[in-house]
């Protein structure tokens, strides 16, 4: 079962801090029954499904009370829908699974840092944490380009979103890099054939 921070009504004994220094500087991310690597591996499985389908390889799982309640990968091309990002699909699934759009205490694991649209949905759904692998230097709206906590402060004052970055970062980045290299090679091959 997930342990939550004090904003969710639980005391410091349930926080799961690794050190006193961390307790003084940062809020705790809800502690899951399994390590972050385990859940990121599940998100990577989804990202590989996206890769095989010709989608940008982003995968996502949402964990609530120690259980994976949602899993998704990008489906923008398949659905011809700009909003069909892994995070958006998983948030919808998680709401159905827990019977509430408020996902307090749930943690979202995603292979690439969420974009502004997904960051807004993460905040609005009241997720307790977001954990990602690869940063996004162009559109990362959690910490890289924008800070999700600023969005959180603008949209609702009761949120306490916690963030962990760089989980399985090399694997997540490598999958994205390989996808775009393959896509560029395919595109340049098509250009060479038509020329």
How far apart CA 187 and CA 112 sit, in angstroms, is 24
Identified catalytic residue from 46, 55, 87, 152:
87
Is there a contact between 81 and 75 (Cβ–Cβ < 8 Å)?
Answer: yes
Q: Is 52 a catalytic residue?
A: no
Helix (H, G, I), strand (E, B) or coil at 31: strand
How far apart CA 163 and CA 120 sit, in angstroms, is 14
**Number of Cβ within a 10 Å radius of residue 178:** 12
Helix (H, G, I), strand (E, B) or coil at 191: helix
| Active-site amino acid positions | 87
């Amino acid at each position: 079962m997930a342990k939550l921070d004090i904003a969710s009504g639980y005391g410091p004994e349930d926080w799961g801090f690794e050190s006193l220094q961390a307790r003084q500087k940062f809020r705790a991310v809800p502690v899951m029954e399994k390590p972050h690597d385990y859940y990121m591996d599940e998100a990577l499985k989804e990202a590989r499904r996206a890769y095989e389908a010709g989608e940008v390889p982003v995968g996502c799982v949402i964990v609530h009370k120690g259980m994976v309640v949602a899993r998704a990968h990008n489906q923008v091309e398949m659905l011809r829908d700009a909003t069909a990002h892994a995070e958006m699909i998983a948030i919808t699934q998680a709401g159905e699974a827990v019977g509430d759009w408020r996902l307090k205490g749930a943690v979202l694991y995603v292979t690439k840092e969420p974009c502004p649209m997904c960051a807004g949905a993460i905040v609005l759904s009241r997720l307790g944490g977001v954990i990602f692998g690869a940063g996004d230097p162009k559109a990362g709206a959690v910490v890289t380009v924008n800070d999700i906590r600023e969005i959180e402060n603008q949209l609702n004052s009761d949120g306490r979103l916690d963030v962990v970055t760089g989980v399985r970062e090399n694997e997540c980045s490598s999958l994205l890099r390989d996808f775009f290299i393959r896509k560029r090679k395919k595109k340049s091959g098509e250009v060479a054939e038509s020329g």
